[in-house]
Amino acid sequence: MGPTETYQLLRHLTSPVVAVTSERTGKRNGMISDSAVRASIVPTIPRLSVYIHKFNFSHDMIFDTGRFVLHLLREDQFDLVHRLGFVSGRARDKLADVPHRLGALGAPVLDDCYAHFECQVANVMDTGSSTCFLGDVKEVGHGTASVARGAVMTAAHFRAQMPAEWRAAYEEHLVQAQRFAEARSRDIRATVWRGLPP
Ligand SMILES: Cc1cc2nc3c(=O)[nH]c(=O)nc-3n(C[C@H](O)[C@H](O)[C@H](O)COP(=O)(O)O)c2cc1C
Rounded distance, CA 87 to CA 173, Å? 9
Could you tell me if the CB of 55 is within 6 A of ligand 1? no
The secondary structure of 12-61 as a DSSP string is GG--B-EEEEEEETTEEEEEEES--EE----TTS-EEEEEEETTSHHHHH
Could you tell me if the CB of 53 is within 6 A of ligand 1? yes
Which residues 6+ apart lie within 8 Å of 142 measured at CB?
Answer: 113, 114, 115, 116, 149
Can you tell me which atom of ligand 1 is nearest the CA of 159? Answer: 1
**Distance (Å) from CA 102 to ligand 1 centroid:** 21
What is the pLDDT, as a whole number, of residue 149?
74
- Tell me which long-range contacts 81-85 makes (C-beta under 8 A, separation of at least 24): 81/17, 81/19, 81/32, 81/153, 81/158, 81/162, 82/162, 82/166, 84/19, 84/30, 84/31, 84/32, 85/31, 85/32
Could you tell me if the CB of 56 is within 6 A of ligand 1? yes
The single-letter DSSP state of residue 196 is: S
What is the pLDDT, as a whole number, of residue 45?
96
- Residue 22 in contact with residue 65, Cβ under 8 Å? yes
What is the pLDDT, as a whole number, of residue 148?
63
What is the pLDDT, as a whole number, of residue 196?
64
Low-confidence stretches of the chain (pLDDT < 50) are none
Could you tell me if the CB of 88 is within 6 A of ligand 1? yes
What is the pLDDT, as a whole number, of residue 10?
85
What is the pLDDT, as a whole number, of residue 146?
59
Could you tell me if the CB of 29 is within 6 A of ligand 1? yes
C-alpha distances in Å from residue 68, one per residue of 51, 84, 112, 135, 137: 12, 15, 17, 8, 10
What is the pLDDT, as a whole number, of residue 197?
59
